[in-house]
């Protein structure tokens, strides 16, 4: 461990990216994510990496995809309107299987919304923002230190699955300052760029899946003369107009991530040992929910907290197990209702699911979540 430092979530994100091997960042200024770009502009050249401020959000996404294809680990960061603008190229990265990490420090929307205020309303956009069927991985850290860890994890998943990974931060965590001790470089597991296992003479096909269903696509400049396109393509990388290739391709894109199951679904439980009710929360809201649940425990309420760190793929099994254990669940999130519907789907009627939402540009007060817990536990009926 390094010595303790006072650091902001956005800065920890940049530090984590560099520790995970990111050496190219393209960005465009947007509140409340700008400190990620500013920190990368400062730190990247120190390690021989490159930062480029592009002309717009779309260009910065395009630049990181190009840099990734040329062999670098890459990241870009944005917020609300910028996240909307990048959607087309997120889909390109999913289809062409280009490793990349996109940070979205969520702010209040829709549109320009409330640029400096916290929100967690991009959960569904992270999942379905780009058109067409596609898989996505999204991680939502709740502390400065976990932002560092989640960024390393995001870079590793991007490389391992050759897929875009969304670091779904929120303004609370992005601008939060905490004392952190970061790991030394050697303490981290860093997933290396995948590389071809065959030569051209041996019949190398850049998009032929390995045993884990992920292709070992060559980097540009390695002499393989590969073709990369956002058109549906076969194992050779060239467009193929057949129903079978289309079906197989879309299925494999999903299956390469789905098949690892719960390995990448990270959740944490607090106060759950004898809990009869549960709060589900993520990101900055989970901090408030933690305090609310701790206060409820002091009042004798048997309530616990399930915190989602992986938002996508959704923690269906963890939620189903939770529903089998408790009499009721409440989802607290800073939006009009997004994760709550996923929880209801996973609970599948096994227990009541209540919603505690907020969308007035303020973070939750613990008392607001405690009031929700009171109602959940039936205190209001006593």
Partner 1 sequence: MERSYEKYFRQNRLPHMWCPGCGNGIAMKAIVQAIEKKPGLTQDNTVIVSGIGCSSRASGYMDFDTLHTAHGRAIPFATGIKLANPELNVVVITGDGDCTAIGGNHFIHGCRRNVDLTVVLFNNNIYGMTGGQASPMTPLGKKATTAPYGSVDRPFDACNLAEAAGATYVARSTAYHEPHLVDMIAGGFDNKGFSFIEAMVQCPTAYGRKNKLGSPADMLKWMRDNAVMKAAWDKLPADKKTEEKFPIGLLYQAAAMDYDTAYDQVIERAGGAAK
* Residue of the chain from 33, 72, 125, 216 that contacts partner 1 (CB under 8 A): 72
What residues numbered 21-60 form the site for partner 1, per CB under 8 A? 23-24, 26, 42, 44-50, 52, 54-56, 58-60
Cα-Cα-Cα-Cα torsion 298, 304, 307, 311, nearest 10 degrees, comes to -140
* Residue of the chain from 22, 226, 329, 356 that contacts partner 1 (CB under 8 A): 226
> Which span (161-169, 187-195, 229-237, 314-322) binds partner 1, by CB under 8 A?
229-237
Which residue's CB is nearer to partner 1, number 60 or number 267? Answer: 60
Report residue 203 as tokens. 């019949």
Q: Smallest distance from the beta carbon of 150 to partner 1, in angstroms?
A: 24
* Residue of the chain from 238, 269, 351, 354 that contacts partner 1 (CB under 8 A): 238
Q: What residues contact residue 336 under an 8 Å CB cut-off, 6+ apart?
A: 121, 357, 359
> Nearest-CA neighbor of 382 among 304, 299, 326?
299
Report residue 362 as tokens. 């303020």
Q: Smallest distance from the beta carbon of 233 to partner 1, in angstroms?
A: 9
Site membership for partner 1, residue 172 (CB under 8 A): no
Q: Smallest distance from the beta carbon of 379 to partner 1, in angstroms?
A: 54
What residues numbered 124-163 form the site for partner 1, per CB under 8 A? none
> Nearest-CA neighbor of 115 among 82, 151, 75, 77?
82
> Which span (188-196, 220-228, 257-265, 347-355) binds partner 1, by CB under 8 A?
220-228
Which residue's CB is nearer to partner 1, number 9 or number 215? Answer: 215
Site membership for partner 1, residue 81 (CB under 8 A): no
Decide: residue 241, CB within 10 A, 0-12 exposed, 13-18 middle, 19+ buried.
Answer: exposed
Decide: residue 294, CB within 10 A, 0-12 exposed, 13-18 middle, 19+ buried.
Answer: middle
Q: Smallest distance from the beta carbon of 45 to partner 1, in angstroms?
A: 4
Which residue's CB is nearer to partner 1, number 59 or number 346? Answer: 59
The H or E element that residue 155 is part of is helix 144-161
With contacts defined by CB under 8 A, how many residues of the chain interact with partner 1? 49
CA distance 107 to 104: 9
Report residue 181 as tokens. 């001790």
Site membership for partner 1, residue 239 (CB under 8 A): yes
Q: Smallest distance from the beta carbon of 221 to partner 1, in angstroms?
A: 5
The H or E element that residue 19 is part of is helix 9-19
DSSP string computed for 290-347 = HHHHHHHHHTT--EEEEEESEEES--HHHHHHHHHH-SEEEEEESSSSSHHHHHHHHH
Report residue 310 as tokens. 């992986």
Which residue's CB is nearer to partner 1, number 43 or number 323? Answer: 43
* Residue of the chain from 70, 185, 258, 324 that contacts partner 1 (CB under 8 A): 70
Which residue's CB is nearer to partner 1, number 55 or number 273? Answer: 55
Which residue's CB is nearer to partner 1, number 92 or number 148? Answer: 92
Site membership for partner 1, residue 220 (CB under 8 A): yes
Q: Smallest distance from the beta carbon of 340 to partner 1, in angstroms?
A: 34
Q: Could you list the beta-strand ranges (E) of 54-181.
A: 73-78, 100-108, 114-118, 137-139, 164-170, 177-180
Judged by phi (left if over 0) then psi (alpha if -120 to 50, else beta), residue 378 lies in left
What residues numbered 88-117 form the site for partner 1, per CB under 8 A? 88-89, 92
> Nearest-CA neighbor of 316 among 356, 347, 340, 341?
347
CB-based contact 111:79 (threshold 8 Å): no
Site membership for partner 1, residue 17 (CB under 8 A): no
Residues in contact with partner 1 by the rule CB under 8 A: 23-24, 26, 42, 44-50, 52, 54-56, 58-72, 74, 88-89, 92, 218-221, 223-231, 238-239
């Amino acid at each position: 461990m390094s010595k303790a430092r006072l650091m902001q979530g956005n800065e920890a994100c940049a530090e984590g990216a560099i520790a995970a091997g990111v050496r190219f960042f393209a960005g465009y200024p947007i509140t409340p994510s700008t400190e990620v770009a500013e920190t990368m502009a400062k730190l990247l050249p120190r390690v021989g990496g490159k930062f480029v401020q592009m002309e717009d959000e779309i260009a910065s996404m395009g630049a990181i995809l190009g840099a990734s294809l040329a062999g670098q680990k890459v990241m870009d960061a944005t917020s609300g309107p910028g996240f909307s603008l990048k959607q087309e190229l997120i889909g390109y990265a999913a289809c062409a299987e280009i490793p990349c990490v996109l940070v979205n420090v969520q702010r209040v929307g829709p549109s320009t919304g409330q640029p400096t205020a916290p929100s967690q309303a991009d959960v569904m956009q992270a999942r379905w923002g780009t058109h067409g069927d596609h898989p996505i991985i999204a991680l939502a850290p709740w502390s400065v230190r976990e932002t560092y860890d989640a960024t390393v994890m995001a870079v590793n998943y991007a490389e391992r699955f050759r897929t875009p990974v969304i670091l779904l931060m929120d303004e609370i965590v992005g601008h939060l300052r905490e004392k952190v001790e970061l790991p030394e470089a050697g303490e981290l597991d860093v997933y290396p760029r995948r590389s071809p296992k065959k030569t051209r003479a041996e019949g190398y096909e850049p998009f032929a899946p390995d045993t884990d269903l992920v292709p070992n696509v060559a980097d540009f400049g390695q002499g393989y003369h590969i073709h990369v396109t956002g058109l549906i393509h076969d194992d050779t990388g060239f467009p193929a107009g057949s129903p079978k290739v289309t079906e197989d391709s879309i299925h494999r894109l999903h299956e390469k991530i789905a098949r690892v199951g719960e390995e990448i679904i990270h959740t944490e439980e607090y106060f759950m040992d004898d809990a009869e009710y549960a709060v589900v929360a993520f990101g900055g809201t989970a901090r408030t929910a933690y305090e609310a649940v701790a206060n409820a425990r002091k009042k004798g309420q048997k309530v616990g907290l399930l915190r989602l760190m992986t938002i996508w793929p959704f923690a269906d099994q963890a939620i189903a197990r939770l529903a089998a254990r408790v009499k009721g669940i409440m989802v607290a999130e800073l939006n009009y209702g997004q994760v709550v519907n996923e929880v209801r789907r996973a609970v599948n009627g096994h227990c009541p699911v209540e919603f505690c939402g907020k969308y007035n540009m303020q973070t939750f007060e613990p008392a607001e979540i405690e009031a929700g817990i009171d109602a959940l536990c039936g205190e209001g009926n006593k």
